Amino acid sequence: MGLGFFFDQTRCTNCLACVVACKDWHDIPAGPASWMKVVTIEEGLYPQLRVSFLVQCCFHCAAPGCVAVCPTQAIQKRTEDGIVVVSPELCLGKDQCHQCREACPYSAPQFGAEENSKMQKCDLCLERLRKGLKPICVAACPMRALDAGPMEELISKHKGTREAVGLAFSHELKPSIVFRSRMKKP
């Protein structure tokens, strides 16, 4: 097992600090590409509601579907830490191919607004990890609801579940994310 995320769904208030922090750190302009998003899941009818929030970024799957389908091997899963990275110079661009986007149930692959833009996505802030820092989203979270690190550590530290409201665990892909979930325990 490599590196992955922890997300505390009971704490996330949809404040969106992680989303903007990611855009600033990676210098991504406003537009369709966003390496980190927060989605809202609304259940029930007025006034009996449950509303939950879920981070949406690359979960650096153990068996990533995007890597398997990429026709040019532009996407690789690093053997040393499991981070899924993309080499834009190898990517065919969105006008020619978007198989990775279709293969990913978590909407991780992102494309900019420009013509034939190349795939881009969360790299777990490799540049920061090398300096011993947590990813920018983790460092940004005002609720301390995010963490990142080796999956074994995250699992034992947070004693989390592999599913959350709005996310079904894919046994095929095995997304590297652990949750403190708002789902009722069975």
Binding site for other proteins (CB under 8 A): 10-17, 19-21, 23-25, 27, 29-31, 42, 44-47, 49-53, 133, 136, 139-144
Residue among 90 and 139 whose Cβ is closer to other proteins: 139
Residue among 75 and 111 whose Cβ is closer to other proteins: 111
* φ, ψ dihedrals at 50, nearest 5°: -130, 125
Residue among 132 and 186 whose Cβ is closer to other proteins: 132
Residue among 176 and 181 whose Cβ is closer to other proteins: 181
Considering the complex, what minimum distance in angstroms separates the CB of residue 39 from other proteins?
12
Considering the complex, what minimum distance in angstroms separates the CB of residue 83 from other proteins?
21
Considering the complex, what minimum distance in angstroms separates the CB of residue 21 from other proteins?
5
Q: Which long-range contacts (CB under 8 A, 24 or more apart) does 164-168 make?
A: 164/7, 164/9, 164/52, 164/54, 165/9, 165/41, 165/43, 165/50, 165/52, 165/54, 166/39, 166/41, 166/52, 166/54, 167/54, 167/106
Q: Give the residues across from 179 on adjacent strands.
A: 7, 161
Considering the complex, what minimum distance in angstroms separates the CB of residue 131 from other proteins?
12
Give the separation between CA 47 and CA 138, rounded to whole angstroms.
33
* DSSP assignment string, 79-97: TTT--EEE-TTT---TTT-
Considering the complex, what minimum distance in angstroms separates the CB of residue 62 from other proteins?
30
Tokens standing for residue 161: 């579940």
Residue among 91 and 141 whose Cβ is closer to other proteins: 141
Are 73 and 97 in contact by the 8 Å Cβ rule? The answer is: no
Considering the complex, what minimum distance in angstroms separates the CB of residue 44 from other proteins?
7
Residue 36, burial from CB neighbour count under 10 angstroms (0-12, 13-18, 19+): buried
Residue among 45 and 115 whose Cβ is closer to other proteins: 45
